A and B are shown apart, each in its own frame.
Chain A
Amino acid sequence: MFAYHLRLGWHSLRDAPVLTALVVGLIALGVGMSMVTLTIYSTMAGDPIPAKSDVLFNVQIDSWNPQSPWDDDRPTSAPAQLTYIDAMAVRELPGAERRAAMFKSVYTLVPDSPELKPFLTGGRMTDSDFFAMFDVPFRYGGAWSQDVDRTAERVVVLSRAINEKYFGGRNSVGETLTLGSEQFRVVGVLDEWQPTPVFYDVNNGAFDDIQDIFLPFSTLQFGELDRSGNTNCWGDENVQTWDEFLNSNCTWIQFWIEVDRPTDVAVFQDQLDAYVMGQKELGRLPRPLNNPLMDVNAWLQHNEVVSEDNAVLVGLAFAFLAVCLFNAVGILLARFSGKASVIGVRRALGASKGAIFQQHLIEVSLIGVCGGLLGLGLSALGLQGVKRLYHGYDHLVHLDLTLVATAIAIAVAAAILAGLYPTWRVCQVAPASYLKTQ
């Protein structure tokens, strides 16, 4: 019967092309709008590293002003970043499998070819554990060794994009490139990698592209670099030199650890608290003890990476879908009422109410599938529009298989919802009243 009803449904859609187009268009419009907002929202709100999000922890230390909290609206919040002094100390604490200090920077990349002009490119100084900790894939080579985290060799890991641009995509491991006035040896080239959001540094563009250049954190010792990330300071410190900056109360370093066993989290927390207590004895860190370790999802939530506005937008889009459905109900009612006489004949010839219900439900499902497919097209167009209008949304706006399936499912569910009342109504047709007058 399913195949028969499917054939009847298809037949019916073709027989009333204008009404079909109207209902399909309405559903497609609602689904398209909903999918655009849902796609962006689900990408933004998704777990950027599901396999490890519960073993990676952001380290915070409340090193802020004793007179006022870091965040007036949330007085119990600690600063999102660490001072250099604290970062270097936390680096030495036992208890974590992996650890990485990091900050955002910017470099002038000087091409070898005189035909190409030097250009600025974003970078990140970090420790070697960064790559293993965050499951960063490599196309060529790998991370620098842990020794480099102490010995400060001039080595570099490149993003796939900058390797394409600078080395034409070839295996550049072993080659050198010039950053500012210094030569750096390439030890690794990343494969395609774009965590969304960029959870490890949400205060410096959570939805930006990853940096192109990764340098050892230890190369800080070569002198001042062009930091480009968020820096927050308090008090009346007179910071004039690079060394003064490193020893200041300014927070600018993100710090992440990987702790594989839950019990070790408590161990690390104890170590961290002990460090802070020790600093208090030395007259530092005067605020109450507040050194939270937050896993990836808690960290993203704490920083409100996805604002409430996005959820409201999704809600509005679905409200628009509801309006479309409301209109579709009217059209379907008219469409099905027009078929009352044929339904009367079918009922007379032995179709039960259930069979008529199934037939029309399959017909509206078919409308849903068509609406879903057209809605997907509109979604793709909408996402392209978002891409063109808003910089930084490039990796947020793509339809994957899950979302395609979601779109079709939403469209079919929406069509069934819209068709439920008209279908129920049509099943109430008293066959006798249409047989005489057809």
Chain B
Amino acid sequence: MLKMKDISRVYQTDLIETHALRSLSLSVDDGEFVAVTGPSGSGKTTFLNIAGLLEEPTGGVYELDGTEVSGLSDNERSRIRNEKIGFIFQSFNLIPDLNLFDNVDVPLRYRRMRGAERKQRIEDALGRVGLKSRMKHLPAQLSGGQQQRVAIARALAGEPRFLLADEPTGNLDSLMARQVLDLLEEINLQGTTVVMVTHDAELARRAHRTICLLDGQVTDLNPFGGQPNENHGLAVGQ
């Protein structure tokens, strides 16, 4: 599903050069649920941005779903993001002046889908996260947990093959966090590959395997103790 080889990302200013990722190589198979962990500044978010085609790597080869995506045009990258990738962010990133229906509608609009099909998918997705009855509400009228469920519904509506979650429970209390995680597991069980960046040990343990990053590279050290990839006996993809 996802293969990265020797990926590097360097941020340059006039004065300094920051290596966010250094020769990072890993792979994630179809249907996996992978947690990416590591201390602050280890390159987790940069990894996620590159994986989600939101940033281009400075060097290396990135294959997504069998396609070499480095060097694709903006249009192509946008199309792949729209059709194959779903995003869930820590801060939900809902559009505040659109109601839930219109928020979930956003990725479908860019897919130029017909109205009836969009409506059906939006209702299904909001139904799946238990918010169908509130689809005319604005995000500000919902709790944090509900907002994150809307963000999940938005990601699900596009039926992505690949779900990227950046600290999806970071802004939620433990009950809400558990509900969100249950939802992610359910989505994964239905075949969607999930890559989740998290600091939370409990969340990481519920993934099939954990990839630890340190200084922009995959490391064997598991911040939560034990071996990094022993959750379900799966190996770190290299």
Best-surrounded residue of A1, A4, A11, A436 (most CB of chain B within 10 A): A436
- Cβ of A430 within 8 Å of any chain B Cβ, yes or no, is yes
Q: Knowing A432-B49, A432-B54 touch, does A345 contact B166 (C-beta < 8 A)? A: no
Q: How large is the interface on A (under 10, 10 to 19, 20 to 34, 35 or more residues)?
A: 20 to 34
Best-surrounded residue of B87, B90, B93, B107 (most CB of chain A within 10 A): B93
- Cβ of B140 within 8 Å of any chain A Cβ, yes or no, is no
* From A4, A352, A437, contact of B74 by CB (8 A): A352
Q: Knowing A1-B109, A4-B109, A432-B49 touch, does A438 contact B93 (C-beta < 8 A)? A: yes
Bound CA–CA A344/B55 (angstroms): 12
**Nearest 3 Cβ contacts at the A-B interface:** A350-B82, A352-B78, A350-B110
Bound CA–CA A402/B109 (angstroms): 37
Interface residues of B in 62-97 (CB under 8 A from A): 74-75, 78-79, 81-83, 87, 89-91, 93-97
Bound CA–CA A4/B96 (angstroms): 17
Q: Knowing A11-B97, A436-B89 touch, does A352 contact B75 (C-beta < 8 A)? A: yes
Bound CA–CA A430/B95 (angstroms): 17
Bound CA–CA A346/B97 (angstroms): 13
Fill in one digit per residue for A256-277: 1 if any B CB lies within 8 Å of its CB, else 0. Answer: 0000000000000000000000
- Cβ of A399 within 8 Å of any chain B Cβ, yes or no, is no
- Cβ of B112 within 8 Å of any chain A Cβ, yes or no, is yes
Q: Knowing A436-B89, A436-B91, A438-B91 touch, does A348 contact B97 (C-beta < 8 A)? A: no
Q: How far is the CB of A140 from chain B (nearest CB, A)?
A: 61
Interface residues of A in 402-438 (CB under 8 A from B): 430-432, 435-438
29 contacts between A and B (CB under 8 A): A1-B109, A11-B98, A15-B97, A341-B93, A344-B93, A345-B106, A346-B95, A346-B110, A347-B54, A348-B81, A349-B81, A349-B87, A349-B154, A350-B79, A350-B82, A350-B111, A351-B82, A352-B78, A352-B79, A353-B74, A354-B74, A354-B75, A355-B78, A355-B110, A431-B54, A432-B54, A435-B54, A436-B166, A438-B93
Binding site for B on A (CB under 8 A): 1, 4, 11, 15, 341-342, 344-355, 430-432, 435-438
Interface residues of B in 132-184 (CB under 8 A from A): 154, 158, 166
Bound CA–CA A35/B158 (angstroms): 49
Interface residues of B in 39-54 (CB under 8 A from A): 45, 49, 52, 54
Q: What is the chain B residue whose CB lies nearest that of A16?
A: B97
- Tell me the dominant secondary structure on chain A's binding face: helix
* From B54, B55, B78, B94, contact of A351 by CB (8 A): B78
Bound CA–CA A359/B18 (angstroms): 35
Q: How far is the CB of B69 from chain A (nearest CB, A)?
A: 14
Question: Considering only CB atoms and an 8 Å cut-off, how many residues of chain B contact the other chain?
Answer: 31
Binding site for A on B (CB under 8 A): 45, 49, 52, 54-55, 74-75, 78-79, 81-83, 87, 89-91, 93-98, 106-107, 109-112, 154, 158, 166
Bound CA–CA A314/B14 (angstroms): 48
- Point out the residues of chain A lying under 8 angstroms from B82, CB to CB: 349-351
Please state if A435 and B75 are interface contacts (CB–CB under 8 Å).
no
- Point out the residues of chain A lying under 8 angstroms from B95, CB to CB: 342, 345-346
Please state if A435 and B106 are interface contacts (CB–CB under 8 Å).
no
Q: What is the chain B residue whose CB lies nearest that of A430?
A: B55
Please state if B89 and A435 are interface contacts (CB–CB under 8 Å).
yes
- Point out the residues of chain A lying under 8 angstroms from B91, CB to CB: 435-438
- Point out the residues of chain B lying under 8 angstroms from A347, CB to CB: 54, 78
